[in-house]
């Protein structure tokens, strides 16, 4: 595994031989508070997106790196969707959003950032979260740090 760069920065090679970005994060040995893993299940885990569209943007990821939904076994599929529902509940409790987006980007044409390891995006939305900063400058303004969002989600994640 390649070493991390500056403090808190992940290596820029998102797909080193034999490992996906998510496998690399899991194998880093860093504590959940640094990797922003919110929850660990038997087959899947949930973590904050390091480059979120909005505060509280969670990724639900199977441990096993598969690219397509149909490649998940039934136990992985069940736990994945249960974890997505838990993420929705935790986000609603932690941030009281006006709405939610839940989705996947499967296949190169869909534009996934990690195409070889599927992950479900679960993110809160507010009526005012699309403004000139995002539309004109492609900049997002986040009212909380990742650490603050991680602490809120850990506190509200269903048991």
pLDDT digits (tens, 9 = 90+) for 80-122: 999 999 999 999 999 999 999 999 999 888 888 888 999 999 9
- pTM here is 0.82
Distance CA 34, CA 155 (A): 16
61-65, 127-131, 145-149, 152-156: least confidently modelled range: 127-131
The residue extents of the domains of the chain are 22-156
Between the alpha carbon of residue 113 and those of residues 56, 98, 126, the distances in Å are 18, 26, 24
Question: Using one digit for the tens of pLDDT, what is the confidence trace for 9-56?
Answer: 544 444 455 789 999 999 999 999 999 999 999 999 999 999 888 899
At residue 67, the pLDDT reads: 94
For residues 125 and 141, what is the distance between their CA atoms, to the nearest angstrom?
A: 13
Whether 141 shows a pLDDT value over 90: the answer reads: no
Q: Measure the CA–CA gap between 97 and 127, rounded to whole angstroms.
A: 9
Cβ atoms of residues 50 and 11 within 8 Å: no
Tell me the DSSP string of 94-114: HH--SEEEEE---SGGG--SS
Mean pLDDT of the region 118-135: 77
Q: If pLDDT is split at 50, 70 and 90, which confidence band does 79 have?
A: very high
119 is catalytic: yes
From the candidates 36, 57, 119, 121, give the one annotated as an active-site residue.
119
More confident residue, 53 or 156: 156
Domain 22-156 maps to which CATH number in 3.40.50.150, 3.30.428.10, 3.30.479.30, 3.30.70.270? 3.30.428.10
Q: Give the residue, 135 or 114, on which the prediction is more confident.
A: 114
């Amino acid at each position: 595994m390649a070493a991390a760069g500056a403090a808190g920065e992940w290596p820029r090679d998102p797909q080193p031989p034999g490992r996906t970005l998510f496998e690399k994060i899991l194998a880093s040995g860093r504590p959940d508070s640094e990797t922003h893993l919110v929850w660990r299940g038997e087959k899947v885990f949930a973590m904050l997106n390091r480059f979120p569209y909005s505060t509280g943007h969670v990724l639900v990821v199977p441990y096993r790196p598969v690219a397509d939904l149909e490649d998940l076994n039934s136990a992985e599929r069940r736990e994945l969707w249960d974890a997505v529902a838990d993420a929705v509940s935790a986000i609603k409790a932690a941030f009281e959003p006006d709405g939610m987006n839940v989705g996947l980007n499967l296949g190169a044409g869909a534009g996934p950032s990690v195409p070889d390891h599927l992950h479900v995006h679960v993110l809160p939305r507010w009526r005012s979260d699309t403004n000139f900063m995002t539309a004109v400058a492609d900049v997002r303004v986040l009212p909380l740090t990742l650490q603050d969002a991680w602490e809120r989600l850990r506190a509200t994640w269903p048991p």
